[in-house]
Amino acid sequence: MSLLPSLRPPLRPAAPAPRLVVTPAVVAHRGASGYRREHTLDAYRTAVAMGADAVELDLVPTADGVLVVRHESELSRSTDVAEHTALAPLCTTKVIGGRPVTGWFTEDLTLDQVRTLTARERLPGLRAPSPDRSAAGVPTFAEVLAVLGEESARHRRAVGVLVELKDPAYFAGLGLPLEDPLLADLARHGLDRPRSGVTLMSFDPGVLRRLAARTTLPLVRLLDVGDDVGPEALDAVAAYAEGVGVHQRLVLPRTAGGRLGPPTRLIREAHRRRLTVHAWTLRAENAFLPLEHRRGDDPAVLGDHRAAVGTLLDAGVDGIITDHPDLVLDAVRAHGRRT
């Protein structure tokens, strides 16, 4: 089963190698999470129905080594775990990524226990919870892959998947490495091959280097504000990865007053090294937009999404990861990049 359409050549004529994605790709962040509870099967179905080229998801393990789809392993922000009295003894504090985190963690719960939970809206102050059209549980990676295959067939078009491996060093230290179950799930669905439409991503270069020796799937290094994006750093990424996924402020920084600054050289330097560039995460609410793209003062009101997308397209991004795939597709068409 192929999840992505045939690949197109890169935007720059000087680069003969094919890009990883149709460009500019519209990637639904945790599904259509601007409209549905993130990382639910309904969020992914909604994203495909809206026309997203691909969906993005995050993987963490359960205590019995099954990969489930959550933004982080701590569950209280995105599920009703705190309401389950039987799970109360499992509440604890851990240090993850150098900071203490208190709550309930997937690595302490079995898959059967995780299946008792219901997903919740992660941004309730900005987004009204909307009823899901299907069960709002915590899906496994394998379940999401199956749904994407079904939705690709239903809509008669291929849909890609960008898979982020969360905190791989932390989980490996617990005896729950992510690589083996990841590759096993992909193999069971026939997706462990080039051009299957699957791309593997992480902030951790170590896990990407290990995966480079075990799979032919494209790899993307994620980079946040404050990470080194200089020429030497990009040279190092190009040695094992096909692309970078960058915080949008690494492409379009903001001034101290909250307005857009001039574009950086990041995309130009990445393209010189044949690296694709996905920018994350475009959210349409005023709260997340620069001042010039806001509409009024209410942080929950949707701003000028066409202008917000246009600035990223003008900067040369190959893909936009967004909570609002329908709005970004609309903006891409208005920009003249699609018909």
pLDDT tens track for 27-74: 999 999 999 999 999 999 999 999 999 999 999 999 999 999 999 999
pLDDT of 4 higher than 70: no
pLDDT of 86 higher than 70: yes
Tell me which CATH homologous superfamily contains domain 25-71+135-334. Phosphatidylinositol (PI) phosphodiesterase (3.20.20.190)
Residue 23 has a pLDDT of 75
**In a 10 Å sphere around its CB, with 0-12 CB exposed, 13-18 middle and 19+ buried, how is residue 264 labelled?**
middle
Higher pLDDT, 172 or 21: 172
Is the Cβ–Cβ distance between 9 and 2 less than 8 Å? no
pLDDT tens string 109-126: 999 999 999 999 999 989
Residue 275 has a pLDDT of 98
Distance in angstroms (rounded) separating the CA atoms of residues 20 and 7: 6
Burial 290-302 (b: 16+ CB within 10 A, else e): beebbeeeeeeeb
Mean pLDDT across 313-337: 95
pLDDT of 15 higher than 60: no
Residue 12 has a pLDDT of 32
Residue 48 has a pLDDT of 98
Evaluate the CA torsion angle 294, 300, 302, 308 in order and state its sign.
positive
Pairing of strands 160-165, 198-202: parallel
Distance in angstroms (rounded) separating the CA atoms of residues 312 and 278: 10
pLDDT tens string 204-214: 999 999 999 99
What are the phi and psi torsion angles at 298 (to 5°)?
Answer: -70, 120
Residue 125 has a pLDDT of 87
Q: Which two tokens stand for residue 7?
A: 């690949």
Distance in angstroms (rounded) separating the CA atoms of residues 293 and 222: 26
pLDDT of 22 higher than 90: no
Evaluate the CA torsion angle 275, 281, 284, 287 in order and state its sign.
negative
Pairing of strands 92-96, 243-247: unpaired
pLDDT band at 136 (very low <50, low <70, confident <90, very high): confident
Sketch the domain layout of the chain as residue ranges. Answer: 25-71+135-334
pLDDT of 2 higher than 50: no
pLDDT tens string 247-263: 999 999 999 999 999 99
pTM here? Answer: 0.92
